[in-house]
Amino acid sequence: MKSLRRLAIVLTAGLSGLALAPVAQAAPDPVLASPYLYQWGGRVDPVAVMNQTGVKAFTLAFVLSDGGCNPTWDGTRPLTGSDATLIRNIRAAGGEVVPSFGGWAGRKLGQFCSSASALADAYLKVIDAYQLTAIDIDIEAAEFENNTTQDRVLGALKIVKERKPAVRNVITMPTAKSGPNTWGRRLITRAKELGAPVDVWAVMPFNFGGPSDLVAGTKSSVDGLKNHIKATFGLSDDEAYRRSGLSSMNGITDTKETVTTAQFRAIRDWATEKHLSRFTFWATNRDRGNCGGSSDSCSGTNQGTYDFTKLVAGYTG
């Protein structure tokens, strides 16, 4: 999964030897190591972040409904405009993006599109607008806890994969410490039943309800995910881990848990040991410390600027 630099061997006429000419490095894998980035608070310049941390990809949050089955950024901004410029700037700097559909709040396309085919068209509209290689479906709240919308999302992803087989997809969902809850297990099981090819399943191992050891909680929740993937699809432990991933949260979480940089490093090392296919966190906008408590622009902990993003940048799967 590491990016490879290819070398082109050019035979130079009239010379006795071979000249080696480097070819541009392959585009980064946006699924593997791409911290979330949002545009509604604590805004940062992604190119400056790339230069300071070495990170090569971002997960852009969130694509939502405009009130119908039409995708917009945060439910208000069209696909053209500032967000398109943001993507162009990241790519011009050698990076890549994976837009994320959904999130906790706002109008979800899975609810406002009336069918799997209509939802697939909405996903494809974004894919085509930016010539994407991957998308993230952050399925939460009412879109997650509903049989109809779960099936609609899976049906849409099946259609997208049929039309765009090279585009990888990630489903990101809430979790308990023991792994996916009843809704999460249903989602995985229904993917098998419906023949919906999900490339990577990722859990969000935080907001468990209060302060706790989130290194241990992350491991147990991802292990629970791996075990259900293994049982559902008949995979080995190694194969199931390689279909799994995680999205943590830096610093102080919504329920007052804490993930320090040292803890996040331990989580990264464990993810490397298991060869998880996705390692990320919410969010680079908050990846700053010593700034008077947690917010959209601060982790609420003692850390250096972009410490968490640097750890993601070093993840190779």
Q: What confidence score (pLDDT) does residue 26 get? A: 63
Q: Judge whether 2 lies within some domain.
A: no
pLDDT in tens, 52-102: 999 999 999 999 999 999 999 999 999 999 999 999 999 999 999 999 999
For residue 281, tell me if it sits in a domain: yes
Per-residue model confidence as pLDDT tens digits over 229-248: 999 999 999 999 999 999 99
Of 15-24, 54-63, 159-168, least confident by mean pLDDT is 15-24
Per-residue confidence (pLDDT) for residue 250, from 0 to 100: 97
Query: Of 10-24, 109-123, 167-181, 265-279, where does mean pLDDT reach its minimum?
Result: 10-24
Let me know if residue 15 belongs to a domain.
Answer: no
Residues spanned by the domain of 36: 28-313
User: Residue 243's closest CA among 276, 266, 221, 279?
Assistant: 276
- Per residue in 192-240, pLDDT (tens digit) is 999 999 999 999 999 999 889 999 999 999 999 999 999 999 999 999 9
Is residue 7 domain-resident? no
Tokens of 125: 């509209």
Q: Is residue 5 part of a domain?
A: no
Residue 150 lies in a domain: yes
Helices 116-130, 82-92: inter-axial angle, 10-degree rounding: 50
Give the residue among 170, 157, 177 at the shortest CA–CA distance from 225: 177
Any domain includes 104:
yes
Sign of torsion over alpha carbons 107, 281, 151, 177: negative
What's the pLDDT at 156?
Answer: 99
Enumerate the active-site residues.
140
For residue 14, being part of any structural domain is answered with no
Q: What pLDDT band is residue 311 in, cutting at 50, 70 and 90?
A: very high
Tally of domains within the chain: 1
Q: What is the CATH number of the domain that holds 49?
A: 3.20.20.80
> How far is Cα 317 from Cα 313, in angstroms, rounded to an integer?
11
- Count CA within 13 A, CB hemisphere, residue 210: 0
Q: What is the pLDDT of residue 25?
A: 55
